[in-house]
Amino acid sequence: MEKIELSQIDPTFQSKSETREDVESETEKYLSRMFNLLYKMNAQSQWSLLIILQGIDASGKDGTVTHLFSGANPQGMRVHSFKEPSKEELMHDFLWRCHVEVPQRGETVIFNRSYYEEVTTVKVHKDLLKSQNLPSKLLSKGIFEKRYQSIVDFEKLLVESGTKVLKFFLHISKKEQKKRFEERLKNPEKKWKFSKGDLKERKYWDEYMDVFTQMINRTHSEHAPWYVIPADKKWYRNYAVSKIIVDELESLKMSFPKSGKGDD
């Protein structure tokens, strides 16, 4: 597969042939189609959908979650946001806390961050490995290469069990991140999302772009490809994510069961 270079992808990209109004109109159509497809998936209860959202701080993960929920029946969709691992989670393998949250048949689950933090944030801040109680002999230079392979194998297991895995990297510019941080500080409804740690992590921007690029290329596969979404423009981000989800779900050629025992 062709290598992906984040530095070569424009975070401000949009189709020059369409206006924002046109794109937002198309997005609404995709949301309507997505609702029907997810409803069909829930009724059939054979396939499931796992949506993984990754990106640097303020890249729009929460906003994407809100957007997707506007196009789905909440009964068949849930979101799990992965924060700093708990003591219990640190006593298991790095995939454990995510594996227990994957969707059951007919369900859609959105991971707001995921096990990919273990090959990005942990790779930038290698001291975090010390808190994972791993045997010292396993803390070798090859630990992240092994984690990449474990992730590829894990996603293959999910796919072979009927879970469609869609991975979105929300790609924003450093300038846009600064703008969004400033907006959070000015908006009382968003100020709670800002922390001094955000500014500290911003200093590692180049390191993060490097590990994100490595993450995408090492875990991009035919069964679970990465989609890099230009995300400076929220309206274009929503359009791109919606279109990909609809196209991928339609490829499953799902159908409603001929009979069943519904509650209503």
Nearest one of 225, 150, 166, 149 to 47, comparing CA atoms? 166
Average pLDDT, the chain: 93
pLDDT at 158: 98
**Sheet architecture: strand order including 48-54:** 77-81, 108-112, 48-54, 163-171, 226-230
pLDDT digits (tens, 9 = 90+) for 158-181: 999 999 999 999 999 999 999 999
- Rounded to an integer, the average pLDDT of 126-148 is 91
pLDDT at 91: 93
pLDDT digits (tens, 9 = 90+) for 56-83: 999 999 999 999 999 888 889 999 999 9
Nearest one of 258, 244, 242, 250 to 31, comparing CA atoms? 242
Of 105-119, 124-138, 210-224, the poorest mean pLDDT is in 124-138
Q: Higher-confidence residue: 234 or 200? A: 234
pLDDT at 240: 97
CA atoms of 138 and 161, how far apart (whole Å): 30
Q: Is the pLDDT of residue 138 over 80?
A: yes
Residue type, 66: T
User: pTM of the entire structure?
Assistant: 0.94
**At 263, is the pLDDT very low, low, confident or very high (cuts 50, 70, 90)?**
low
Exposure of 162 by Cβ count < 10 A (0-12 exposed, 13-18 middle, 19+ buried)? middle
Q: Is the pLDDT of residue 144 over 60?
A: yes
